[in-house]
Amino acid sequence: MQAADSAFATAVDPGDITIKKLFITPLAEVVHPQADTLNPALKAVIEARMQADQSGSQRSNEGGWQSTADFASWAGEPGQALLQFATALATQLTAQHSNERGLFEPEFAWQYNAWANVNEAGASNALHGHAGAYWSAVYWVDDGGRSDDPSVGGDLEFPDPRGMIASVYNPALRMRIEGCVAAGYSTTVAARSGTLIMFPSWLMHSVRRFDGKRPRISIAFNFGVANL
């Protein structure tokens, strides 16, 4: 490159740069305000269900136990309370659109399914997405000790949906832009008891190996709409 020694040479002023962040992928997070009383009740109904149906269901889990996707039918009052809370979050994150009205508040009833997950030491969940839904969510009933000891693992992992082009080109390079430093890499979210997160159902995700001394218990949700 020719040395910038001409009369036209001008430095780039960082303050003059405008950056538009395209293709933002949301991940919403909220702590349940009644988690201290809700979680023991949820844990009790999940443990009872696991005892009654020890074989459970096989989806993404590699080890551990998953219930069938009819959580609402057996989780009782605590389960219904959590479903209402998660449904309210889905509504807060969503707008409807029509050519006549533009964007407006949702006027439909969500369809949903949900299931419980219990990961013992050594269990994980393979990479997967949730086809046939709009929002997916995870609520941690018990983080299995992750809040106190990060070494127990079990973190939720989201590969960059834009692919790994940036990391393949040169792993030493990073975009010096807020929210883009990890472009091309995976992002992890640590389990925290009482926390609900929600993300687009097409976003691929997995759960890393968990090695805690007590079970890691979570509830997964899918929200969709039949017809609008």
What pLDDT score does 174 carry? 87
- Residue 8: pLDDT band (50, 70, 90) is confident
User: 57 vs 42, which has greater pLDDT?
Assistant: 42
Q: Are 134 and 95 in contact (CB under 8 A)?
A: no
Highest CATH level, class, for 27-94+109-155+190-224: mainly beta
What pLDDT score does 3 carry? 57
pTM: 0.89
Phi, psi of 114 (to 5 degrees): -155, 155
- Dump pLDDT digits (tens) for 185-206: 899 999 999 999 999 999 999 9
Q: What angle do CA 220, 225, 228 make, to 5 degrees?
A: 165
